[in-house]
Amino acid sequence: MSTIQRLLRCFRRVPAGRGLAATNSAAATGAQSRLASSNVPNSGGSAAPAVHRSPSPTSSTSSHSQTATLLNMAPRFCPTDANSFANTDEIRITHSHLSLAVDFDKRILEGSVTHTAKVVGKSVTEFVLDTSYLDIQQITLLGKEQEEGQTLKFELATRDEKFGSRLTIHFSEAVAAETVVQVCIKYATTDKCTALQWLTPSQTVGKKLPYLFSQCQAIHARSMVPISDTPGVKITYSADITGPANLRVLMSAVRTGEETVGDKKIFRFSQETSIPSYLIALAVGNLASIPIGPRSTVWSEPEVIEAAAWEFAGTEEFIATGESLLTPYDWGIYDLLVLPASFPYGGMENPCLTFVTPTLLAGDRSLVDVVAHEIAHSWFGNLVTTQNWEHFWLNEGFTVFLERKIVGRLQGQPVLEFDAIIGLKALTESVEHYDDIKRPEFTCLCPRLENEDPDEAFSSVPYEKGFNFLFYLEKELGGPAVFEPYLKAHVTKFAHKSINTNDFKTFLYEFYQDQEGKTAILNAVDWEAWFHKPGMPPVTNVFDDSLAKACQQLADEWDAARDQEKPNIDKSSWEQFSSSQKVMFLEKLLQKPSLPHSHLAHFAELYNMPAIQNAEIRFRWQWLCLQAAYTPIFSQVATFLGQVGRMKFVRVLYRALDKCGAEGKEVAKQTFLKNRSFYHPICAAMVAKDLGL
């Protein structure tokens, strides 16, 4: 079916008297069609949210009765995900087609999504989806190829601050079990969309053309498309995206064609491997590309494409090593997109198109392990997916475990365990942070997230506590030769599925049940402590510290010299360190009492710290200075915070600056206010909360 045919079917008006009455827009412009908030209590005693009802053109007793019934209903959440409204136990999306136009002037996406969905319950009368700040304009139940569509009534509930607005679509009659339906939703995003960041030309490297990119994890896809926004539902998708002809559109899918129409260009995509909604990704900008392997291309703005291609030249080796450990790569292509500096993460594992931060372009390939991490997601997270965000460690803990195995295969086991030591320090910092803000429950491997925004629980805990748990299990069960076959079997069993921690544990027992002594080992594991107790892991793993000893030794030298007027420390050790060892050395210093200001000044001069461009080193050096409230560093921190939007750096430095007395607090506030529009909406919201703004 052509794009034009699909749109005509989706938006064709229903003749008078056929099907359900046509609905009005539930957007802000249709305020006159909204009902006032209802104060009818739900079963828990709190007020049920009001709904925005699309009124029927004619009043009837039955429609008023239906309104009363709906207003008395408590909000219903997805039975497998406390962070979604979708009724996935009754009807499930299997495929979605996006037909959207990118409007840089209005800063919106506008068009439609057509969901193909299957009734999985006995029958269903409603189709409930997640939305957030969307302008829902019209909903149509598509008929067969030549049949008219049927316009459906819908309601958009009053927005929940954390989870958005529940969209309830009403079928004219009950739809029987196993029935497949196609529902087309005409909509537009709004200026409050949290998934999209629109960059002006001045915010890009080239300074000439605008840029757009999305970030949907954890629950922001619902602000870009009305959908079942839960990782418990995996779908295939296709798309045709219309944008300016002088820009390129990329998505987390295989490119299937493009067509120029006047000053516009239509780009077409297909993702045939099922994915959760948070992996739908879009980027639009002035993008160049260079092939870097048999199945990989790197994309970026032209000004940095050569540097990006050089930095990520080893990508194929990471993929091949992952395949040797697990199963064949399932996604066809593995491309990389180097985003502008405001991208809030180190990387995002969007299938077929990993998004990465430009802070990885260190010029020495010292930070490309992030790519190994994102490639590892091709198996853990993308192929085998967490059922909901309470089991996020099944994505990230397994991914870190595989990432380090890939690096260990290529660089040696001491490097794997050296990275684990650095990771343990990050875990300690996260545990201390949540203790400081009185939210220790977020340090559980399986935190309870009912009525919680998953972004609030985002930290190194699922990554590093999860890794430590798997490292511990591998050691207890007999080492890599015994555990790696289980990893492969785990992927084979759960590929294309969404699972929870109990699924993992049950299969782990099943896999080892016929191997002598393994069940007894598993029975000795303190599962409750690992999964549900806050804080550091219940078992402290011992890692090979051969590469860390020199870092510790140099940190001890600086610590011992704190009473000297000018430390007599040779710079040769620093010069011989790898970039990772420099990071480790700074991490060790961060664990000690703050150095005197005079020593920090000498440190900066001795190691020429202002000239360092490696973001990981630069970040930790500035953090070390802020721990000592070293005011000469404030201007450098403010400059750095205006250059990067990666939350790993930004949130820590803002919090540290905010603790540096009245002057530091004011610098933090003014720096944030100056750069707020530069940051992605997710990052800006988190920093504002950190600073109490």
Q: Average pLDDT of 646-659?
A: 97
Phi/psi at 635 (5° precision):
-65, -35
Binding site for Zn(2+), by residue number, is 373, 377, 396
CATH topology of domain 388-547: Neutral Protease; domain 2 (1.10.390)
Rounded to the nearest 10 degrees, how much is the dihedral formed by the CA atoms of 644, 646, 652, 658? Answer: 50
Q: Which sequence spans correspond to the domains of the chain?
A: 3-285, 388-547, 549-691
Triad 208, 213, 216: Cα angle to 5°: 170
Nearest to 241 by CA among 269, 274, 279: 269
Judging by beta carbons within 10 Å of its beta carbon (0-12, 13-18, 19+), is residue 103 exposed, middle or buried?
middle
On average, the pLDDT of the chain sits at: 90
Check: CB of residue 217 under 8 Å from CB of residue 281.
no
The answer to whether residue 266 scores a pLDDT higher than 80 is yes
Q: Rounded mean pLDDT of 16-32? A: 33
The pLDDT value given to residue 121:
86
Number of other residues whose CB lies within 10 A of the CB of residue 297: 17
Residue 8: predicted pLDDT: 44
**Band (316; pLDDT cuts 50, 70, 90):** very high
Average pLDDT over residues 420-435: 96
CB 151 within 8 A of CB 185: no
Element (H, E) at 378: none
Span 208-228, mean pLDDT?
98
- Residue 338 confidence (pLDDT) above 50: yes
Binding site: residue ranges?
A: 215-217, 344-349, 373, 377, 396, 646-648
The stretch 245-265 carries a mean pLDDT of 98
Write out 404-449 in H/E/C secondary structure.
HHHHHHHHCHHHHHHHHHHHHHHHHHHHHHHHHCCCHHHHCCCCCC
Q: What is the pLDDT of residue 144?
A: 75
Residue 366, SS3 per DSSP: coil
Q: Is residue 305 within 8 Å of residue 325, measured between CB atoms?
A: no
Predicted local distance difference test score (pLDDT) of residue 27 = 38
pLDDT at 146: 58
Active site members: 374, 463
Q: What are phi and psi of 278, to 5 degrees?
A: -70, -10
What distance in Å separates the CA atoms of residue 431 and residue 433, rounded to the nearest whole number?
A: 5
Mean pLDDT to the nearest integer, 205-219: 97
Q: Which of 132, 282, 285 is nearest to 214 (CA)?
A: 282
Residue 10 pLDDT: 53
Instruction: Give residues with Cβ within 8 angstroms of 257, minimum separation 6.
Output: 267, 268
**The listed CATH number (1.25.40.320, 1.10.3720.10, 1.10.240.10, 3.10.28.10) that belongs to domain 549-691:** 1.25.40.320
398/466 Cα distance (integer angstroms): 7
Is residue 202 over pLDDT 80?
yes
Whole-structure pTM value = 0.87
Q: Where are the alpha helices (DSSP H) in 12-163?
A: 61-71
Across 573-598, average pLDDT: 96
User: Does residue 66 register a pLDDT over 50?
Assistant: no
The whole-number pLDDT of residue 143 equals 85
What strands lie across the sheet with 288-293, from one edge to the other?
288-293, 296-300, 335-338, 353-356, 347-348
Mean pLDDT, rounded, for 554-559: 97
How does pLDDT run across 438-491, given as a tens digit for each residue? 999 999 999 999 999 999 999 999 999 999 999 999 999 999 999 999 999 999
Q: 55 pLDDT band (50/70/90 cuts)?
A: very low
CATH level 3 topology of 3-285: Immunoglobulin-like (2.60.40)
Annotated binding site for a peptide: 215-217, 344-349, 646-648
Both tokens of 224, joined, read 């870009």
